Structure 1
Amino acid sequence: MSVELNVTSFVDIIFNLLVFFILSTSFTTGATSAGLVVDLPAAASADQQVRERDVVVAMTTDGLIVVRGAALAIDALPPLLQEWRKENPTGWVIVQADAAVPHGRVVEVMDRVKSTGIARVLIAAQAP
Structure 2
Amino acid sequence: MRLPDDSETPFQINIVPMIDAIFAILAFFIISTLYLTRSEGLPVNLPTATTAESQLQDRIITITIQENRAIFINREPIELSQLEARVESLVTANSQVLVIINADENVPHGRVVSVMDRLRLVEGIRLAIATQ
- Answer yes or no: same fold by TM over 0.5: yes
> How big is each residue's C-alpha offset from its partner over 1:2-33, in whole Å with a ceiling of 9 and x where there is no partner?
xxxxxxxxxxxxxxxxxxxxx9xx94845442
Distance 1:32 1:71 in 2: 14
Max Rg structure? 2
TM-score between both structures, scaled by the size of structure 1: 0.67
Using the size of structure 2 for normalisation, the TM-score is 0.65
User: Counterpart in 1 of 2:128?
Assistant: 122
Aligned-partner Cα distance in 2 for 1:61–1:50: 27
Aligned CA RMSD, in angstroms, stands at: 2.4
Q: Report runs of 4+ in structure 1 exceeding 4 Å deviation.
A: 48-52
Q: Check if 1:53 corresponds to 2:53.
A: no
* Pairwise CA distance, 1:46: 2.3
Aligned identity (percent) is 31
Query: Structure 1: which 5+ runs fail to align?
Result: 1-22
Q: Which has the higher contact order (CA 8 A, sep 6+)?
A: 1
Question: 67-76 vs 51-60, which deviates more?
Answer: 51-60
* CA shift in 2, pair 1:45/1:95, >3 Å: same
Amino acid at match of 1:110: M
Q: Which has the higher strand share?
A: 2
Q: Distance in 1 between matches of 2:124 and 2:115?
A: 13
Structure 1 residue 85 displacement after superposition: 1.5
Unaligned runs of at least 5 residues, structure 2? 1-30
SS at match of 1:109: helix
